[in-house]
C-alpha cells in the first residue's frame, strides 16, 4: 500500500527572499541594534546614512579637538 500526495514538492522562494529592499532593512536593523542607537525618528535613506556617518565621525572630531587644546599647553 502506497500513499499518494496530490501537492507538488515545496520550492525555496529564493527570488522573494533576497531583494534590495529586504537587504537594506536587514542592514539598518543590524546596524541600529549592534553599532548605532537609533534616534527613534523615521528618516529617509539619506538621513539614516548621514546619522550613521555623524555617529562615526563625532568621536574622531572630539579626539582631534582634545589634541588641539592639549598640544600647545605642553611645554
Please tell me the distance from the alpha carbon of residue 8 to that of residue 11, in angstroms, as a whole number: 9
Can you read off the three cell numbers belonging to residue 70? Answer: 592639549
CA–CA dist 67, 59 (Å, integer): 12
pLDDT at 4 over 80: no
Give the model's confidence band at 75: pLDDT under 50 very low, under 70 low, under 90 confident, else very high: low
Q: Rounded distance, CA 27 to CA 21, Å?
A: 10
pTM of the model: 0.43
Taking a C-beta distance cutoff of 8 angstroms, is the pair 47, 28 a contact? no
- The model's confidence at residue 18, banded by pLDDT at 50, 70 and 90, is confident
The answer to whether residues 37 and 58 touch, using CB atoms and an 8 Å cutoff, is no
pLDDT in tens, 42-73: 888 888 788 878 888 888 888 898 888 877 76
Amino acid at each position: 500500500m502506497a500513499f499518494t500526495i496530490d501537492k507538488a514538492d515545496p520550492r525555496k522562494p529564493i527570488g522573494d527572499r533576497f531583494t534590495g529592499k529586504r537587504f537594506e532593512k536587514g542592514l539598518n536593523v543590524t546596524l541600529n541594534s549592534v553599532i548605532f542607537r537609533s534616534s527613534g525618528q523615521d528618516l529617509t535613506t539619506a538621513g539614516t546614512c548621514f546619522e550613521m556617518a555623524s555617529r562615526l565621525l563625532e568621536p574622531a572630531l572630539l579626539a582631534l579637538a582634545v589634541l588641539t587644546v592639549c598640544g600647545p599647553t605642553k611645554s
